[in-house]
């Protein structure tokens, strides 16, 4: 709509300029104030319209970012709480990144230097939630693409790491169904994956990790 108005305004202005050029001096003198006034009003309207559209685009992208962010924080919450029923929690009830940033930073650094030990329930909650929401994460690719190419790349990293976590959960379940003792992956198996996930999650939420 904005671009259609700009094009229409440009055509009208061009027509007026042609009339102004070929008209005699008396008509030119009469048209000049009108032409100036029309041009100024049109430029002012285009400027206001551009500001409104920019604000709408910004708000729309902010909402899209939040829809991605809550799906990443749902997984961070899974590790933090170790709740065995966390997989059933809907993403709409997940926290934003800001309240979880301190824990996420501690988790990342702890996995990096080995100062954090994840319990079996924390690992179970994470990979089980990953299995539960994986298809939803894949379905959010178009949302990430609407924000920017960098957000799409970051979301691809999120989906890749969660796919690995989902497969770890499925593998453990299949072995158990085959008669083997139920055993979740070790922290060492998932440490790199979780760190990669956190790095992408930081970017999605525009938060920076503290190093």
- Within 10 angstroms of residue 149's Cβ, the number of other Cβ atoms is 9
Mean pLDDT value of segment 67-96: 94
Q: What is the pLDDT of residues 134-149, one digit of tens each?
A: 999 999 999 999 999 9
| Structural domain boundaries, residue 7 | 2-55
Do 94 and 50 reside in the same domain of the chain? no
Percentages helix, strand, coil for the chain, rounded to the nearest 5? 85, 0, 15
pTM: 0.74
Is pLDDT of 39 > 70? no
In this structure, the answer to whether residues 40 and 126 fall within a common structural domain is no
Tokens of 206: 């525009």
**180 shares its domain with 96:** yes
Q: Is residue 211 part of a domain?
A: no
11-27 per-position pLDDT tens digit: 665 655 665 565 555 54
> In whole numbers, what is the pLDDT of the chain averaged over residues?
83
Give 211's pLDDT tier (boundaries 50, 70, 90).
very low
Residues 184 and 109 in one domain: yes
| 14 shares a domain with 48 | yes
Q: Measuring CA to CA, how many Å separate 8 from each of 12, 15, 45?
A: 6, 11, 13
Please tell me the total count of domains within the chain: 2
The DSSP string of 119-136 is: -HHHHHHHHHHHHHHHHH
């Amino acid at each position: 709509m904005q671009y259609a108005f700009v094009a229409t305004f440009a055509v009208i202005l061009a027509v007026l300029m042609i009339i102004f050029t070929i008209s005699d001096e008396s008509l030119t003198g009469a048209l000049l104030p009108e032409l100036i006034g029309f041009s100024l009003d049109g430029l002012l309207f285009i400027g206001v319209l551009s500001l409104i559209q920019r604000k709408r685009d910004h708000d729309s992208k902010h909402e899209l970012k939040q829809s991605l962010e809550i799906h990443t924080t749902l997984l961070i919450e899974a590790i933090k709480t170790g709740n065995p029923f966390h997989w059933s929690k809907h993403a709409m009830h997940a926290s934003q990144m800001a309240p979880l940033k301190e824990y996420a930073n501690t988790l990342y650094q702890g996995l990096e230097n080995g100062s954090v030990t994840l319990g079996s329930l924390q690992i179970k909650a994470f990979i089980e939630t990953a299995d539960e929401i994986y298809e939803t994460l894949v379905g959010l690719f178009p949302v990430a693409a609407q924000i920017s190419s960098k957000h799409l790349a970051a979301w691809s990293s999120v989906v890749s790491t969660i796919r690995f976590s989902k497969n770890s959960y499925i593998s453990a379940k299949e072995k158990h169904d085959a008669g083997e003792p139920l055993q979740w992956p070790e922290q060492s198996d998932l440490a790199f994956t979780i760190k990669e996930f956190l790095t992408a999650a930081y970017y999605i939420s525009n938060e920076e990790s503290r190093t």
